[in-house]
Homo-oligomer: A and B are copies of this chain.
Amino acid sequence: MKKNNMVAMILAGGRGSRLFDLTKKVAKPAVHFGGKYRIIDFALSNCANSHISTVGVLVQYESILLSSYSARSSTWGLDSKGGGVYVLSPREKDETGLGLYAGTADAIYQNLDFLDQEEADYVLVLSGDHIYKMDYDKMLKVHQESGAEATIAVIEVPMKEASRFGIMNTDKSDRIVEFEEKPKEPKSNLASMGVYIFSYKTLKKYLKDDAKDPNSQHDFGKNLIPAYLRDGLKLQAYRFKGYWKDVGTISSLWEANMDLLKDNSGLDLFDPDWKIYTDDASATPQCIGENAKIDGAFITQGAIVNGEVTRSVVFSGAEIEEGAKVEDTVVMNNAVIGKGAKLVRCLVADDVKVPDGMKLGKKNSEDILLVSKALIAKAGEDHE
């Protein structure tokens, strides 16, 4: 028995080039977050908690780690008999060659055979790089009750920021009447979250038409949704209230980590009824040394703190050595902050060793400093 016949498709192919060195060897959805998680854990855990049993993860860029990570369905409990996490990379088919996914819509189009095989009635299209907790089952109920062909999750953003988003203009019943991608003069503050539910039959037809269109960019926001609107199909907005963040840049990734220190950010990771699942690493408990000082921190197992941590997030296996100080800083997996080093407003990438005594970041800087291996190497050279 399928719990519901909605198949989730997570778009996880992006290079995430605005995350610079963090995505040199791993795809953006596999980047670590919040101490023990990877970004894609949020989308996958949301699926599991929303009773979705079949999830496709569409990968292409540096996908070994992301693929093997996602394929371990049991991490999110998605290993029930009928379901599973299916990693869908571009592939060679009978009578066609191998090509990259040309756009978000093309990625789904190339996997129509998968959706056919899974006998999807509804397709949930998600992005693999957003941090939020959302019950897609509730959204499906709204979709079914409204009789729409597609339902788009929207969130209210401050009006002055609206021009950075895809904006939905709706009527009183939240039916979408207009969609504007990054409008200069937005008419509403309802931003698309990049979470779509489509009734599959219609979607399939539109994807096939879109694939034939040589002028299309094969993108949901730019091509598919406008085509639906143009043809007068019913599009419903689903208003989401709560925490939602696109972590596409170093500063937004840093911010989202910092939000975990707040009591009222809206993102409650302690909620036992909506856990975010992740790989179960065999780490020691966290070890707080005799001379450690902690003043506001989010720290996970496997971390070792002997120095000072102020308003910071410390990831698995990271080490803050004696006399080191980190402030307003994210210290990612297995990074080591050497003795007496002082970091403020930094994001230290996985496996980086900050040498003893090095000072990085500025207290009043607007930017967040990405501390990568390359930066440390360069700092070393500059020093010589």
Residues of A within 8 A of B (CB): 15, 24-25, 59-64, 67-68, 71-74, 79, 81, 84, 86-94, 97-100, 111, 113-114, 117, 282
Contacts and interface: CB of A to CB of B under 8 A. Distances in A.
A61 B91 contact: yes
Contacts of A74: 74, 79
B91 A62 contact: yes
Contacts of A81: 282
Contact of A61 (B89, B92, B99, B117): B92
A254 to B, nearest CB: 22
Given A67-B86, A86-B68, A87-B71, A62 B94 contact: yes
Contacts of A113: 25, 64
Contacts of A24: 94
Contacts of A92: 15, 60-63, 100
B63 A91 contact: yes
Contact of A87 (B25, B68, B94, B282): B68
Contacts of A60: 91-92, 98
Contacts of A59: 91
Contacts of A282: 81
B94 A25 contact: yes
B64 A88 contact: yes
B62 A84 contact: no
Contacts of A91: 59-64, 89
B86 A89 contact: no
Nearest to A91: B63
Contact of A72 (B64, B67, B84, B114): B84
Contact of A63 (B62, B63, B89): B89
Contact of A86 (B62, B64, B73, B79): B64
Contacts of A90: 89-90, 98
Given A64-B111, A72-B79, 18 more contacts: A15-B94, A59-B91, A61-B91, A63-B89, A63-B91, A63-B92, A64-B86, A64-B88, A64-B91, A64-B113, A64-B117, A67-B87, A68-B86, A71-B71, A71-B86, A72-B84, A92-B100, A98-B100
Nearest to A25: B94
A64 B114 contact: yes
Nearest to A17: B94
A40 to B, nearest CB: 15
A266 to B, nearest CB: 34
